[in-house]
């Protein structure tokens, strides 16, 4: 077995508790650490000595971490920089990659092993680049170098986008499979059809594909087909000439022209009208477009990623969606799993959003109590990650104190849809339980805590049953 490598690491973070946590994890592995509470203090440390890696926060007093990243890369180009921050948005991740960060890890650190593995890889890749003729990622692992040559993206952007986070929070098997599929399809030129429920993260998937593609340095243009009135959608997509219709005072480029040389993401493409479908099909087949009211044909070079929460195959059978367009879009299909199929990610997602929204409010991040975690892991999540995000933002703003309980969250969660279990034995049992709950609540004058004690169950469980059966005070 090869001996363990020991590195010299600089921790730049204004949060002393985070620095203490990082120092403990790293020194347990035999690494040497130094600390700096601000970017300016970090520069001073770098002037005094060399480091194998820097772990850098984004939100600090004075200089923001993204600006500090640029200066650190200039001061110490042979030092690996890993962003460790609670501001884990895809936008920040992409900017960090473009400015030279090796990876982006969310805090608080919940997987120390992942941090150690990422750190080792970052230092080894940086050392390989120091070799004469290394040529960027050419000395990196086969996976990184092969992807780099295929995608044409910058080394830093590529390494960030192929990291486990990729802007898509979660470590469940479903999310790991999705990230692997993204890595495979992104470098190709094929069109991608992303399907999944509303709020599952289809736009994040499209953005990650763009970052990893050959077009990463080109524009990433988005259009939600369901958000634009049908009579305006064509002009939004193809653009229009001056005087094409009332109010067209000047010519305007459409999204296809704006995306030339890059990627066009058409969300909710199942809502595209048949006439617009026909024109989009022609544009995909020929690479040519005409603006509304115009006669000049223009060539465009665009990679199309489409997304929908509808069953397009069923739309083809019903005549609502063109079959030829469907087959041209569905070259590389990706399915984004709903949150209820990746319940193991819920706690991680909650911590991510709580950190993010608490930082925006200028307060410490609250924590979920055990009963709150249990409640959220059992919830059916009709709104997927978007619903969870909104719930955590609401909790940060409205819940006082350092912890969030099930009682705080319960009233904000929706009752599950009714099923066919109203008949038969299950139905009789449910009706009996409903009657028992109502009697207990009436006897306690609808004091849920007292009613739960009378039923011999905890308050959270009673709230859950009330929501399940739609029980409310009449």
Tens digits of residue pLDDT in 451-472: 888 888 888 778 778 877 777 7
What is residue 150's DSSP assignment? H
Q: Identify the weakest region by mean pLDDT among 86-90, 155-159, 255-259, 442-446.
A: 155-159
**Pick from 331, 214, 339, 196: nearest CA to 268:** 196
pLDDT at 142 over 50: no
- Nearest 10 degrees: Cα torsion 290, 291, 292, 296: -60
* Model confidence, pTM: 0.59
Domain's final residue, options 278, 301, 335: 335
27, 138: one domain = yes
- Nearest 10 degrees: Cα torsion 134, 160, 264, 189: 50
317, 436: one domain = no
Beta-carbon contacts of residue 47 (< 8 Å; ≥ 6 apart): 75
The CATH code of the domain that includes 370 is: 1.10.8.60
User: What is the total count of domains within the chain?
Assistant: 4
250, 157: one domain = no
Residue 160 confidence (pLDDT): 42
191, 319: one domain = yes
Per-residue pLDDT reduced to its tens digit, 74-98: 899 889 899 988 765 556 666 676 6
In whole angstroms, give the CA distance from residue 338 to residue 335. 9
The CATH code of the domain that includes 69 is: 3.40.50.2300
CB atoms within 10 A of CB 397: 12
Using DSSP, state whether 201 is helix, strand or coil.
Answer: coil
Distance from CA of residue 72 to its chain's centroid? 27
What is the residue-averaged pLDDT of the chain?
82
Is 3 among the domain residues? no
**Token pair recorded at residue 183:** 């890595």
Domain's final residue, options 383, 410, 437: 410
The CATH code of the domain that includes 294 is: 3.40.50.300
Q: Identify the weakest region by mean pLDDT among 107-111, 138-142, 302-306, 396-400.
A: 138-142
Residue 234, Cβ density class (10 Å: 0-12 exposed, 13-18 middle, ≥19 buried): buried
pLDDT at 165 over 60: no
Is 175 among the domain residues? no
**Token pair recorded at residue 86:** 């609670």
8 A C-beta contact, residue 60 and residue 13: yes
Q: Identify the weakest region by mean pLDDT among 6-15, 114-123, 129-138, 287-296.
A: 129-138
- By residue range, what is the domain housing residue 266? 181-335
Domain's final residue, options 314, 335, 356: 335
């Amino acid at each position: 077995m090869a001996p363990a490598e020991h590195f010299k690491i600089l921790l730049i973070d204004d949060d002393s508790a985070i620095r203490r946590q990082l120092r403990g994890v790293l020194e347990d592995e035999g690494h040497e650490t130094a600390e700096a509470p601000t970017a300016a203090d970090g520069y001073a440390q770098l002037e005094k000595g060399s480091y194998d890696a820097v772990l850098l926060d984004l939100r600090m007093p004075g200089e923001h971490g993204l600006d500090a990243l640029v200066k650190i890369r200039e001061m110490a180009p042979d030092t690996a920089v890993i962003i460790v921050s609670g501001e884990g948005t895809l936008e920040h991740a992409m900017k960090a990659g473009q400015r030279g960060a090796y990876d982006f890890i969310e805090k608080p650190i919940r997987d120390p092993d992942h941090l150690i593995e990422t750190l080792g890889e970052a230092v080894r890749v940086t050392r390989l680049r120091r070799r004469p003729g290394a040529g960027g990622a050419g000395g990196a692992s086969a996976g990184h170098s092969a992807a780099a040559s295929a995608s044409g993206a910058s080394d830093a952007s590529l390494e960030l986008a192929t990291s486990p986070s990729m802007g898509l929070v979660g470590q469940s098997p479903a999310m790991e499979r999705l990230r692997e599929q993204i890595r495979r399809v992104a470098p190709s030129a094929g069109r991608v059809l992303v399907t999944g429920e509303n709020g599952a993260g289809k736009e994040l998937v499209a953005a990650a594909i763009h970052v990893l593609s050959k077009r990463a340095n080109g524009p990433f243009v988005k259009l939600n087909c369901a958000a634009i009135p049908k009579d305006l959608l064509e002009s939004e997509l193809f653009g229009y000439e001056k005087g094409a219709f009332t109010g067209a005072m000047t010519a305007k480029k459409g999204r296809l022209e704006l995306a030339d040389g890059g990627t066009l993401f058409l969300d909710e493409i199942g809502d595209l009208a048949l006439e617009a479908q026909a024109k989009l099909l022609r544009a995909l087949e020929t690479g040519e477009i005409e603006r509304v009211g115009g006669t000049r044909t223009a060539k465009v070079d665009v990679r199309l990623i489409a997304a929908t929460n509808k069953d397009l195959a069923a739309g083809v059978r019903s005549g609502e969606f063109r079959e030829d367009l469907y087959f041209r879009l569905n070259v590389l299909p990706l399915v984004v799993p709903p949150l209820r199929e990746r319940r193991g990610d819920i706690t991680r997602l909650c911590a991510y959003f709580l950190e993010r929204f608490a930082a925006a409010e200028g307060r410490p991040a609250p924590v979920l109590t055990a009963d709150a975690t249990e409640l959220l892991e059992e919830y059916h999540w009709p709104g997927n990650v978007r619903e969870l995000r909104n719930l955590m933002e609401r909790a940060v703003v409205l819940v006082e104190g350092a912890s969030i309980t099930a009682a705080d969250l319960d009233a904000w969660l929706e009752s599950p849809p009714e099923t066919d279990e109203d008949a038969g034995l299950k139905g009789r049992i449910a009706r009996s339980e409903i009657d028992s709950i109502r009697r207990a609540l009436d006897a306690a004058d609808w004091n849920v805590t007292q009613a739960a004690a009378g039923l011999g169950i905890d308050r959270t469980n009673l709230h859950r049953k009330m929501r399940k059966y739609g029980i409310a005070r009449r």
